[in-house]
Amino acid sequence: MPADGVHNQRFSPPNLPPPPHQPRHRTLPAHEEEKRLRALAPELHTYLDFALAIKGVQRHAFLRRLLTLSQKMTPALFIKSVRRAHHYQITNLESLERIALLYLRESYAELPLADLDESFLQRAAYLEGALTDLPDLSNYQEPKAPEEPEKPTQTDPPEQPENPNDHE
């Protein structure tokens, strides 16, 4: 038997060689992932304290998936999403990702306009291109005009007796 407190390590009885394989289904700790997440911002530190204290959260998988999610977006967006998830006590990472998408959609209208340098009109490459011949487009067909569907002619429906139950 191993000494007390030995976890996830290979052991063997004295005078016998160690086993040739690693143990199966061993959990590898996620200490490094947790350190990286806690170092991002104080909000993440408080969120991790909240989320990891809840029973039923698989600590290592949660930390690894949260770190992967943090690498998929900008740090500012990630911190803002985590702050909102902590406010509403959300530990589901899919919900956290939807919060980030919500923030992205809201900020879409706030994108800055591109600065256009009007001096490109004076560049030699632009002026040279302005004097070139027009391309020969004769190889291409003219688009067909959409045809209007023919309207059916009005025909009178066959006359029906006023009361079908009357048989005179």
- Lowest average pLDDT, out of 14-23, 70-79, 99-108, 157-166, goes to 157-166
Helix, strand, coil % (nearest 5) of the chain?
45, 0, 55
82 three-state secondary structure: helix
162 pLDDT band, cuts 50/70/90, is: low
Tell me the per-residue pLDDT of 34-92, one tens digit each, with 9 for 90 and over: 999 999 999 999 999 999 998 776 888 899 999 999 999 999 999 999 999 999 999 99
Residue 122 belongs to some domain of the structure:
no
What average pLDDT is seen over the chain? 82
Per the domain annotation, does 137 fall within a domain?
Answer: no
- Using pLDDT thresholds of 50, 70 and 90, give the confidence band for residue 112: low
Collect all residues with Cβ–Cβ distance below 8 Å to 12 and sequence separation of at least 6.
18, 19
- Is residue 82 situated within a structural domain? yes
101 falls within a domain: yes
50 within some domain: yes
Q: Give the pLDDT confidence score for residue 111 in this predicted structure.
A: 58
Domain count for the chain: 1
User: Domain range holding 69?
Assistant: 31-108
